[in-house]
């Protein structure tokens, strides 16, 4: 795992940025604490920071150049099946001097150019420069596990793994209010956009080719998309056998390493399956869980212990308190170089911090909920599409639920909140319902928070929303929902959360459920194999039932909620009132509506806080980011 950055200059003004390039590399040090390197070919700079995973020797260092000196690569990620292609590369007469996956990939690019991407089973962002044709090639993995941002104007093209690296170049940037508008709804920025108008994220499964000697429009080309469903389906039992094989293969591939490796083990279905399969392929597998003594309702360590005992793993429980979570709050906020308000990122930060003391790599269960239908919204959508009677019944009690709905951190309040959201969504068209259920805040409430939000920004945000909701077709089969989740929730929220918080602690996280062979196969199955009247993730649970303790098989989905409401009413109250959401500062800042902020704070401190804690958190994260990064950039009309 590594971090990459690069620069192409098209003018004298662009040339001035070369003096800042090494500093941009240094800002990726947490992604690559082991080594750093750079290369410059006339008007092209490539920089790399290394977290050594495969071939720890100098032979695996980057930037890496082929024997002819023509091609140079910087690579962030893992090419798990690279050994399968070593002999092919050698048969073409290319000498391999290392045991690294990067070198195999470099020569595959020489042989096949962009077609080599189809050979990669793994996750990555990469850049290859051809100093004979003066062509720069950039690519990103199929599902967006590894980030890659870019900026271009008449003077330069700049790219990097993280925004904090890009900011070192001193680019001319301005706040994107369409992004801010969607952020206040979703609590993250909708991909492939960023908080800045001028910076984009390369779409998953896309590449860019550009000439380094002549500036021209940058175009992304799609090299992978999730395949559409086949006309015929396998029978259910055959599908179970294939899923078991593909998942086991995916886990086994991701265990290749020259450094210590372990598993996150939350006690949920997905991490338990990953652990069970990984334990087949190594002795004394290390597994890691966090539990919070102050939040027994959300503490899953007993379930994790049951899995660890069944599969005889070397299990470690980090038994923590809310104070431990609070202590890393500002460290986590400081690492975020773009507003991102999924509060569970704090848990990932804390788990990664402690896990990194024992291993350099952790397997996780990320992606399974989106792939197999594990979210509460999937159950709610299934009910609406299949059971009108249930929908009518829940609508009848919605007014009561609305009156007493509380925050997520109360079990009863959260249940009433969910009933109200269900009833609200059931009255919407399927596309609007999907967006609303992905959001923490409504469009109307989010619009009111921004001072003088322009019609143009609203129009841009609406167009972006439709690029996702347009995937929703309705009907009995729910693969449209899962496909939309891959495009929005997985890429914009879940993978960003894990990538940023693990990289902040120099820990590589690998996701077996995002293996291309597994994803392609599962999307080829009818959704009734995944969700029906009695079960979510049905085929996944039934396939691996023999590897799971009974208490795991029967439990519902549960996540840990960060105690935001408690913090905001106690330890963080003065920080909210005197700093982040100080009304005088809000007015001077000129971004948010001070009157709406005041109303939201009043709700927060009331007996019926509703979703106010999550909405306040989104504002806090933005303000913390603004004070560190945003205040120095152009402020344009909202």
Q: How far is the C-alpha of 206 from the C-alpha of 564, rounded, in Å?
A: 37
Tokens representing residue 426 in the block: 């059931």
pLDDT grade for 294, boundaries at 50, 70 and 90: confident
- The DSSP symbol for 560 reads P
Q: How far is the C-alpha of 29 from the C-alpha of 51, rounded, in Å?
A: 9
Q: Which residues pair with 6 in a beta bridge?
A: 46, 159
Q: What is the mean pLDDT of residues 614-623?
A: 97
Q: What is the mean pLDDT of residues 405-420?
A: 57
Q: What is the mean pLDDT of residues 148-156?
A: 96
Catalytic residue among 2, 116, 156, 438: 2
pLDDT grade for 416, boundaries at 50, 70 and 90: low
Q: How many secondary structure helices (H) and strands (E) does the chain include?
A: 29, 17
The answer to whether residue 234 scores a pLDDT higher than 80 is yes
Q: How far is CA 484 from the centre of its chain?
A: 14
Residue among 631, 486, 600 nearest 144 (CA): 486
What is the CATH number assigned to the segment(s) 236-370+492-554? 3.40.50.620
Q: What is the mean pLDDT of residues 271-288?
A: 96
Residue among 63, 51, 138, 134 nearest 103 (CA): 63
The predicted-structure confidence for 451-485, as pLDDT tens digits, reads as follows 989 999 999 999 999 999 999 998 889 999 999 99
Q: What is the pLDDT of residue 391?
A: 56
Q: What is the mean pLDDT of residues 537-557?
A: 89
Q: What is the pLDDT of residue 397?
A: 53
The predicted-structure confidence for 46-70, as pLDDT tens digits, reads as follows 999 999 998 788 888 999 999 999 9
Q: What is the pLDDT of residue 400?
A: 47
The predicted-structure confidence for 394-406, as pLDDT tens digits, reads as follows 555 545 445 445 5
The predicted-structure confidence for 117-129, as pLDDT tens digits, reads as follows 999 999 999 999 9
The question of whether 2 is a catalytic residue gets the answer yes
Q: What is the pLDDT of residue 410?
A: 53
The predicted-structure confidence for 92-150, as pLDDT tens digits, reads as follows 999 899 999 999 999 999 999 999 999 999 999 999 999 999 999 999 999 999 999 99
The answer to whether residue 190 scores a pLDDT higher than 70 is yes
All CATH 3.60.20.10 domain ranges in the chain, comma separated: 2-222
All CATH 3.40.50.620 domain ranges in the chain, comma separated: 236-370+492-554
Q: What is the mean pLDDT of residues 86-91?
A: 93
Q: How far is the C-alpha of 471 from the C-alpha of 491, rounded, in Å?
A: 15
**Domain 2-222 class in CATH:** alpha beta
Q: Which residues pair with 37 in a beta bridge?
A: 48
Q: What is the pLDDT of residue 403?
A: 47
The predicted-structure confidence for 191-201, as pLDDT tens digits, reads as follows 999 999 999 99
The predicted-structure confidence for 6-49, as pLDDT tens digits, reads as follows 999 999 999 999 999 999 999 999 999 999 999 999 999 999 99
DSSP string, 167-181: GGG----BB-HHHHH
């Amino acid at each position: 795992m590594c971090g990459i950055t690069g620069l192409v200059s098209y003018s004298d003004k662009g040339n001035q940025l070369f003096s800042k390039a090494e500093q941009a590399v240094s800002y990726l040090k947490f992604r690559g604490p082991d080594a750093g390197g750079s290369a410059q070919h006339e008007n092209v700079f490539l920089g790399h920071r290394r977290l050594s995973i495969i071939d720890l020797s100098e032979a695996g260092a980057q930037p890496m150049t082929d024997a002819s000196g023509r091609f140079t690569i910087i690579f962030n990620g893992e090419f798990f099946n690279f050994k399968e292609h070593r002999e092919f590369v050698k048969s073409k007469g290319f000498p391999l001097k290392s045991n690294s996956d990067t070198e195999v990939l470099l020569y595959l690019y020489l042989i096949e150019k962009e077609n080599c991407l189809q050979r990669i089973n793994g996750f990555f962002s990469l850049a290859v420069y051809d100093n004979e044709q003066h062509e720069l090639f950039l690519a990103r993995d199929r599902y967006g596990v590894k980030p890659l941002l870019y900026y271009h104007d008449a003077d330069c093209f700049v790219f990097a793994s993280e925004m904090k690296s890009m900011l070192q170049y001193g680019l001319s940037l301005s706040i994107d209010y369409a992004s801010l508008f969607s952020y206040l709804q979703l609590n993250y920025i909708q991909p492939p956009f960023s908080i800045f108008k001028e910076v984009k994220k390369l779409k998953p499964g896309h590449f860019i080719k550009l000439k380094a000697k002549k500036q021209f429009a940058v175009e992304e080309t799609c090299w992978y998309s999730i395949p559409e469903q086949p006309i015929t389906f396998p029978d259910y039992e055959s599908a179970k056998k294939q899923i078991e094989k593909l998942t086991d293969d995916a886990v086994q591939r991701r265990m290749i390493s020259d450094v210590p490796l372990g598993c996150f083990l939350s006690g949920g279905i997905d991490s338990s399956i990953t652990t069970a399969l990984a334990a087949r392929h190594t002795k004394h597998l290390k597994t890691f869980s966090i539990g919070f003594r102050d939040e027994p309702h959300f503490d899953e360590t007993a379930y994790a212990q049951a899995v660890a005992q069944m599969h005889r793993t070397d299990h470690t429980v980090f038994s923590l308190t809310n104070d431990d979570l609070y202590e890393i709050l500002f460290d986590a906020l400081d690492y975020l170089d773009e507003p991102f308000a999924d509060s569970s990122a704090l848990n990932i930060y804390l788990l990664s911090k402690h896990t990194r003391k024992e291993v350099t790599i952790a397997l996780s269960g990320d992606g399974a909920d989106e792939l197999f239908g594990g979210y509460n919204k999937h159950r709610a959508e299934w009910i609406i599409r299949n059971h009108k009677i249930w929908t009518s019944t829940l609508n009848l009690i919605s007014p009561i639920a609305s009156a007493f709905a509380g925050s997520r951190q109360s079990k009863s309040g959260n249940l009433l909140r969910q009933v109200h959201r269900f009833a609200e969504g059931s009255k919407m068209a399927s596309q609007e319902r999907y967006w609303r259920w992905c959001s923490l805040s409504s469009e109307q409430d989010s619009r009111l928070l921004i001072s003088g939000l322009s019609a143009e920004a609203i129009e841009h945000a609406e167009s972006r929303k439709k690029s996702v909701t347009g995937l929703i077709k309705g009907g009995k089969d729910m693969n449209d929902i899962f496909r939309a989740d891959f495009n929005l929730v997985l890429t914009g929220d879940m993978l960003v959360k894990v990538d940023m918080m693990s990289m902040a602690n120099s820990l590589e996280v690998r996701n077996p459920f995002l293996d291309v062979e597994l994803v392609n196969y599962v999307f080829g199955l009818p959704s009734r194999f995944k969700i029906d009247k009695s079960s979510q993730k049905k085929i996944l649970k039934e396939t691996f039932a023999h590897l799971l303790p009974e208490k795991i098989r029967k439990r519902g989905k549960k996540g840990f909620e960060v105690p935001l409401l408690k913090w905001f009413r106690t330890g963080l109250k003065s920080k909210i009132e005197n700093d982040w959401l100080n009304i005088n500062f809000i007015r001077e800042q000129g971004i948010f509506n001070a009157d709406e902020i005041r109303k939201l704070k009043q709700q927060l401190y009331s007996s019926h806080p509703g979703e106010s804690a999550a909405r306040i958190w989104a504002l806090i994260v933005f303000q913390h980011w603004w004070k560190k990064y945003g205040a120095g950039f152009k402020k344009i009309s909202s």
